[in-house]
Amino acid sequence: MYIGALYCKKLTKAAAVSSMLAGFTSAALWMMFVHSKESSVLKICNALFGKATLAPAGTMWAVVDPICISLTLSTVVIIVVQLLSKEKAEGEHVEKCYKGIK
């Protein structure tokens, strides 16, 4: 979202908020249920499902860092929501923010 806010003049509030929520939610869920280091310490997955992680045995999903998943999902969400939203950024405010930048 930071890169989008810096380099995209027409980034909407809906896209930014959706991206942040998607990133936070996916990272939190990945840490609680899939990533083996965090899920074994938090024990939420063990309490709900009776096993340390929901990642299938013998796969690498249990060691994939949550930031990889959340950053990818957040990027996809910001692009999709931006393309679907019809809000227009305030011209005067945007011009003031980007003054001197081509």
**Is residue 18, in this structure, part of any structural domain at all?**
yes
H or E segment and range at residue 89? none
Total tally of structural domains belonging to the chain: 1
> DSSP character for 33?
H
**Is residue 102, in this structure, part of any structural domain at all?**
no
Domain hosting 36: range is 13-83
Tell me what pLDDT residue 43 has.
95
**Is residue 67, in this structure, part of any structural domain at all?**
yes
The predicted model scores a pTM of 0.79
**Is residue 56, in this structure, part of any structural domain at all?**
yes
Can you give the pLDDT of all 102 residues of the chain as single tens digits? 667 766 777 788 889 999 999 999 999 999 999 999 999 999 999 999 999 999 998 899 999 999 999 999 999 999 999 999 876 656 676 777 778 876
**Is residue 4, in this structure, part of any structural domain at all?**
no
**Is residue 94, in this structure, part of any structural domain at all?**
no
Other Cβ atoms within 10 Å of 8 Cβ, number = 14
H or E segment and range at residue 79? helix 66-84
> DSSP character for 28?
H
